[in-house]
Amino acid sequence: MEKNPANAPETRKKDGYSAGAISLFVAAMTTVGVLLGAGVTAYATVVSTQKNREESCLKRVDDREMLTRKRAEVLLGSMGSFLGSLGSLSGIPKEPGRLVMQSAFELTAYAPLELNLVALKISTSVYLGLMARTQEEQEMAIQAASESFKGWNDNYIKLMASFDNERMKCAQH
């Protein structure tokens, strides 16, 4: 029996690499490929999760802003309707006044304290007008209503700017 047949590993070693070395090389390259693939997948998952979180944050801010704008629109519209009906009737019109009070209270669920205070002052002054019994009480209530609107614009603009600030924070985290 021959010690080293022609296809024995020792013979192939002279011509190149042994089968064991090639197997190790293939296993090492496969491991590197798997690790790189896992790394790329993990990175993609992190980036995707971060993007989803940012988009979710932006959507929440946009939704809150839209709700606040809609409630403010209802309050301002009902206030305009109320003020428009004052000249055509004697006394304070009850239904438009009720709508002003209702929309002012609805806005308080979405707005910050500063804007809530203005909305509640408006509601209170309209209530005083609805409860007024004399012409003098009604005129005082109308004056109180126009005074109660002070601070609305500044606080509303500040609130809208705060939504923009929140959007910027969404992108930073």
pLDDT of residue 63: 94
* Contact (CB, 8 A) for 142 and 129: yes
**Could you list the pLDDT tens digit for every one of the 173 residues in the chain?**
555 555 555 544 555 678 888 888 888 888 888 888 888 888 888 888 888 899 999 999 999 999 999 999 999 999 888 877 776 556 667 888 889 999 999 998 888 888 899 999 999 988 888 888 888 887 888 788 778 888 889 999 999 999 999 999 998 86
pLDDT of residue 110: 83
pTM: 0.66
pLDDT of residue 165: 94
pLDDT of residue 55: 92
